[in-house]
Chains A and B, each alone.
Chain A
Amino acid sequence: GEEVAQTPKHLVRGEGQKAKLYCAPIKGHSYVFWYQQVLKNEFKFLISFQNENVFDETGMPKERFSAKCLPNSPCSLEIQATKLEDSAVYFCASRQGARYTFGSGTRLTVV
């Protein structure tokens, strides 16, 4: 389809628990990006993939965050041992050609 599908829409985790978010990019799009939106307006880049290979991971807090994009599977973003400050909306986007298309986001609340 022509949409980026993110699941789940909402996720609540206790501090210290693991959180795993999924993203199915648009078929044929070779680039996938993860962004974290905090404070409603600020977008922070986390990581990008070109097909299943990491393209740019300069935004990832690597001690607790990891991500994968494997063939024939949704991409995933995993947070080990969540902290309160990880509460945010996590957006996935895919790109082929000039335009980026974003998914609807996963709202993670850490309590």
Chain B
Amino acid sequence: GIQVEQSPPDLILQEGANSTLRCNFSDSVNNLQWFHQNPWGQLINLFYIPSGTKQNGRLSATTVATERYSLLYISSSQTTDSGVYFCAAWRDAGNMLTFGGGTRLMVKP
């Protein structure tokens, strides 16, 4: 099956700092999505990014499919960015997502 690994597992930042979260995945993955699970437990879509780079405000993501990794960048972090960031991958239409173990981010004021 698909393997998805995330690093680091935990991250503590001071408000205003930048960070990079990493997601490595096994081969034969052709779909990848980043989620933010906020402290209330809601899973929020951030990016669908099977390849290339996307940006949305202070967040951006890059996936290099040939090297089997994806990066999520958070710039000028805010306390509201706290929570757990998951990447999840799948192969083909209808197939289940395989989640990484998540990166737990705490942004301190």
Partner of A56 from B48, B84, B96, B99 at Cβ < 8 Å: B96
Q: Which residues of A contact B96 (CB under 8 A)?
A: 33, 45, 48, 56, 59
Is B28 an interface position by the 8 A CB rule?
no
Question: Within 8 Å CB of B77, what residues of A?
Answer: none
Interface of B is mostly: strand
Q: Is B80 an interface residue (CB 8 A)?
A: no
Is A72 close to B, CB under 8 A?
Answer: no
Is the C-beta of B73 less than 8 angstroms from some C-beta in chain A?
no
A41 to B87, CA, bound (A): 12
**Across the interface, do A42 and B101 meet the contact criterion of CB distance under 8 Å?**
yes
Compute the total of residue contacts between A and B using a CB distance below 8 Å.
50
Tell me the A55-95 residues at the B interface (CB within 8 Å). Answer: 55-56, 59, 89, 91, 93, 95
In the assembled complex, how far is the CB of residue B71 from the closest CB belonging to chain A, in whole angstroms?
19
| A104-B41 contact given A33-B97, A41-B84, A50-B94, CB 8 Å threshold | yes
Number of chain B residues whose Cβ lies closer than 8 Å to a Cβ of chain A: 21
- Which applies to chain A's interface (DSSP): helix, strand, loop or mixed? strand
Q: How large is the interface on A (under 10, 10 to 19, 20 to 34, 35 or more residues)?
A: 20 to 34
State in angstroms the CA–CA spacing of A107 and B41 once bound together: 10
A100 to B90, CA, bound (A): 11
- A7 contacts the other chain (CB 8 A): no
Measured CB to CB, the closest approach of chain B to A103, in angstroms, equals 8
Asked if B45 contacts A101 (CB within 8 A), the reply is: yes
Residue of B nearest to A33 (CB): B96
Decide: B45 and A99 in contact? CB cutoff 8 A.
Answer: yes
Contact A55 B94 (CB under 8 A): yes
Q: Let me know if B41 and A41 touch, CB within 8 A.
A: no
Complex interface: chain B residues within 8 A of A40 (CB): 84
- Residues of chain B within 8 A (CB-CB) of A59 are 96
Contacts A45-B98, A99-B33, A100-B45 aside, 19 further interface pairs with beta carbons under 8 A come to: A40-B84, A41-B101, A41-B104, A42-B99, A43-B86, A43-B88, A45-B96, A48-B94, A48-B96, A50-B94, A56-B95, A56-B96, A93-B97, A95-B94, A98-B48, A98-B50, A100-B97, A101-B45, A104-B41
